[in-house]
Amino acid sequence: MQVRSPLWKNRDYMWLWSGQVVSTLGSAAAAIIYPLLILALTSSPEAAGIAGALRTLPYLALSLPVGALIDRWDRKAVMIRCDIGRVLAVASIPAAIAFDALTLAQIYAVTLIEGSLFVFFNIAEVAALPRVVPAAQLPEATAYNEAGFGIANIVGPPMGTILYQAFGRAVPFIADALSYCVSIASLLRVKAPFRVESAPPKRDLRHEVAEGLRWLWGNPLIRYMALLTGGLNVINAAMPLLMIVLAKGLGASDAQIGVIFSFAGAGGILGSLIGGRVQRRFSFGQVIIGCMAIEAVLFPLYAVMPSYVWLGVVTGTYSFFAPLYNVVQFSYRIALIPDRLQGRVNSTFRLIAFGFMPLGAAVCGAALERLGSTATVALFSALLIALAIATALNPHVRHAAPIGEPPAA
């Protein structure tokens, strides 16, 4: 049996991984500042919710055509150009702050531009990963990614709030722009081609999009996982603003809110560290059903938090299960998709998975402003419980074959 080198000896993967960890660190530092900045400017949770919706809205309009285009284009070049665009967009915020000209409209524009470029970058990155990592090591690489992003999400929020409070509102966005520059530099160091097959001949875009749709819709397990992930992301899109409002209601300062978000990052990294082992020890169905059941039990506890410390503890525990879910579903899906369809199928999956996020962010902001935090927690708890029950009853999830033996599409 061929013995593969450990991932940390894979030079191209480590450049790709390290650049994205730094970029995630910058994004995590800035992400918590967007709602804090909007709340400081407007005192409106609904306005902050709109910003969150605008960041994810481009997936609805762009995912399918972008997926087809990514299968034609140089994926590395796409990623680098997206990072350049994100540097310019994010850097416009500290520039406006320096001239005392920042407006809510500009913040909305930046979040929309960042979200649009993220669609291109994310689909290209997912399609490129199997070109850098052997198929057998995809679960391990996914766990590495989750661990690195988990570390970034531990350090990022408190770093962002400290920069925000100690050095000014502009500094977290400067740090975010610099992190995109690091991502560009790391991508330039990757030598492996991000695709091994020649680009498909340019055909009708609708035909190419339809091919990806047919593949995904013809696989009942992957189809259900796209819908399930979409439902979960409605809740995930609501989480940042919900956590901030709950924490402020419990008397937390901005710096303490950053620490609460670090609890989530800590839970995420612990989950990612055991994600690969869990994937090997338990079946696909056991992991997915188990994660859903535990999250459905934990989420309603947000309605009865006695202090912001307990808010952080519950958030960290809840976040522990997200990487377990992600490692299993992501590695299963990526190993199953043919290379020539990676962009199109993943864009279809992500359209379904991310397309509901604007709804989650907008509904959360409106519900918090009009109904209050307890009713908002109850609303999202009901959705999560319904998803957990549906997953436990789904035969394709319960009887999914091991990753090396995928079910027939």
Torsion, Cα of 102, 103, 104, 107 (10° steps): -40
Nearest in space to 173 (alpha carbons), one of 28, 371, 362, 370: 28
Q: Distance between CA 361 and CA 111 in Å, rounded?
A: 13
According to the model, what pLDDT value does residue 301 have? 93
φ, ψ at 361 (rounded to 5°): -65, -45
Q: Distance between CA 19 and CA 8 in Å, rounded?
A: 14
Nearest in space to 26 (alpha carbons), one of 189, 260, 183: 183
Q: Distance between CA 137 and CA 130 in Å, rounded?
A: 9
Q: Distance between CA 34 and CA 40 in Å, rounded?
A: 10
Residues 6+ apart with CB under 8 A from 321: 271, 291, 294, 295
> Is the pTM of the predicted complex or chain greater than 0.75?
no
Assign 3-class secondary structure to the chain. CCCCCCHHHCHHHHHHHHHHHHHHHHHHHHHCHHHHHHHHHHCCHHHHHHHHHHHHCHHHHHHHHHHHHHCCCCHHHHHHHHHHHHHHHHHHHHHHHHCCCCCHHHHHHHHHHHHHHHHHHHHHHHHHHHHHCCHHHHHHHHHHHHHHHHHHHHHHHHHHHHHHHHHCCCHHHHHHHHHHHHHHHHHHHCCCCCCCCCCCCCCCHHHHHHHHHHHHHCCHHHHHHHHHHHHHHHHHHHHHHHHHHHHHHCCCCHHHHHHHHHHHHHHHHHHHHHHHHHHHHCCHHHHHHHHHHHHHHHHHHHHHCCCHHHHHHHHHHHHHHHHHHHHHHHHHHHHHCCHHHHHHHHHHHHHHHHHCHHHHHHHHHHHHHHCCHHHHHHHHHHHHHHHHHHHHHCHHHHCCCCCCCCCCC
| Look-up of token digits 């999560």 | 384
According to the model, what pLDDT value does residue 2 have? 45
Cα 184 → chain centroid: 20
According to the model, what pLDDT value does residue 409 have? 38
Q: Give me 224's structure tokens.
A: 């259900």
Domain ranges of the chain: 7-187+206-398
Q: Distance between CA 157 and CA 266 in Å, rounded?
A: 12
Rg (CA), the chain: 20
According to the model, what pLDDT value does residue 331 have? 77
Nearest in space to 39 (alpha carbons), one of 90, 101, 104: 104
Q: Distance between CA 115 and CA 90 in Å, rounded?
A: 11
Write the Ramachandran bin of 251: left for phi over 0, alpha for psi from -120 to 50, otherwise beta: left
Output the tens digit of pLDDT for each of the chain's 409 residues. 344 677 777 888 889 888 988 998 898 888 888 888 888 888 888 888 888 888 878 877 787 777 777 777 888 889 999 999 999 999 999 999 999 889 999 999 999 999 899 888 888 887 778 778 877 777 778 777 777 777 787 788 888 888 888 888 899 999 999 999 999 999 999 887 776 455 555 566 677 777 778 888 888 888 899 999 999 999 988 888 898 889 988 888 877 887 888 788 778 778 877 766 777 788 888 999 999 999 999 999 999 988 888 998 898 889 888 888 887 888 778 777 777 777 778 778 877 887 788 888 888 888 998 889 999 999 999 999 999 999 999 999 988 876 555 444 3
Q: At what angle do helices 205-217 and 58-70 cross, to 10 degrees?
A: 100
According to the model, what pLDDT value does residue 112 have? 92
According to the model, what pLDDT value does residue 402 have? 65
Contact between 55 and 108 under an 8 Å Cβ cutoff? The reply is: no
Assigned CATH topology for domain 7-187+206-398:
Growth Hormone; Chain: A; (1.20.1250)
Nearest in space to 241 (alpha carbons), one of 26, 42, 23, 44: 44
